[in-house]
Amino acid sequence: MKPSPWLVEFYHQWRKVRGHRIQPASRAFSLPWEDLLDTAGLRSSFERDHAREEAKALEKQGRLILFRHRIRREETLSLPPASEPWLLGLFNEKSAQELRNQALSLIDQARATGHRRWPESWTRLCENIHSAFMEEKSLHPFSWKDPAELAQLLSTIHALTSREWPPNTLIRDASVALGLESKFLEQKCAPLESALSRLFGEPSSLESLGILNTQSQATVHGSLTLHFDDASPQPYQSLQGPFTISLIDLKRAAYATTPATHILSIENAKTTFLQAAVANSTKDILLIATSYPNSATSRLLALLPPALPHHHFGDTDASGYAILGSLRKTSPRSVQPFLMQWRDAENSPPLSEHDRRLLPSLMASPSLQDCHPSLQAMANAGRKGHFEQEAFGAPTLKEWPFWSAAARSV
């Protein structure tokens, strides 16, 4: 039999407050009776009297308690801790303890399955998720509160990273190749990319796997004009802050112009790029935020004048140099490293499985020959060193090259 509206509302409010607690409740959950009826939409005296009869019947069964305060004369509906399993069963729901145990079992199965290409990273990911769940926490985007969603996310990440994707694989083709609905990867892009970052221990995207997202955008700061075949220009001159341009519009453009004297692409979009945008008040530099260049960024670089000098400011871990190499393959111009000499730090993290896998191919790449000393030093040390861009702090100069540490070498 379908529960009455007042009981449905009571359950929803209990679920919101108590439903995801692992430890058993020590005190009853209570709500003001009249407020509950109002929220449930029971207005007429007939509806409210009928609800009271139902509550009294459940009270006789020992399920609920309808209590009237002797002084305030207000009524309160309470759920004793022993009745919480009954309430969950009434709505065919599982307790938080059951949900977490099911999620932990899924993690144990995933860890036992292993990963052919990334065994260490997969094991570490499963262990980190397991530890968080044991502490009654989630590890975004992995949550124990929805085991079905957890199983799907683990399965998809495992499948995505178990193969080499051909360059520029369309995202819907990738979905179909995995046996999923064609729009699945598009719809789940944000949690999947967050999960990839957890797996590899650094910001990662579907495009870093070779899968193109059709909703790609380029993030820019500075003066820029797109020119279309019908001779109608689209200027971006008066904007003070960063702006984005979609791949759709970039594909329409025939070429792009800028009064800037240099391009500076920056890996860290959340701090370093924004700091550089503040220093770039005269817009003499065209700033582009990019990790592995997505299709929109690649298109923008192709539209800009080939003679425009291009520097790239990235982290100096293995992925940072891989991004530089990817930019060099994408850009029609020479891309020079900016503040990207590897610096040692004895207490820095050891090289990850991802780092160790990348380094040999990076050192063998002809396009990164000028970075070989830094790559070799990193490999010899076996650790990441001072690799993050944030170590240089905010720009100290109000003109190019913004950072005083680069003033002597650029």
Cα separation of 294 and 205, whole Å? 9
Q: Are residues 198 and 271 in the same domain?
A: no
Amino acid 238: pLDDT: 79
Same domain, 263 and 352: yes
331-346 as b/e: b if 16+ CB within 10 A: bebebbbbbbebeeee
Instruction: Give the model's pLDDT for residue 188.
Output: 94
**Which tens digit of pLDDT belongs to each residue from 280-322?**
999 999 999 998 888 899 999 999 999 999 999 999 999 999 9
So what's the pLDDT on residue 214? 67
pLDDT of res. 141: 97
Among residues 155, 189, 212, the one where a domain terminates is 212
User: Is the domain of 361 the same as that of 224?
Assistant: yes
333 plus 350 within the same structural domain: yes
d(CA 160, CA 144): 22
**Residue ranges of the chain whose pLDDT lies below 70:** 1, 70-73, 214, 407-410
- Read off the pTM: 0.72
Cα-to-chain-centroid distance, residue 296: 19
Name residue 31's beta-bridge partners: 77
Q: Are residues 273 and 390 in the same domain?
A: yes
* 293 lies in the same domain as 263: yes
Question: Residue 287 in contact with residue 273, Cβ under 8 Å?
Answer: yes
Cα within 13 Å of Cα(155), Cβ side: 11
Do 325 and 271 share a structural domain? yes
Three-state DSSP class for 156? helix
Smallest CA-to-CA distance from 130 within 119, 140, 121, 139 is with 139
Structural domain boundaries, residue 226 = 217-406
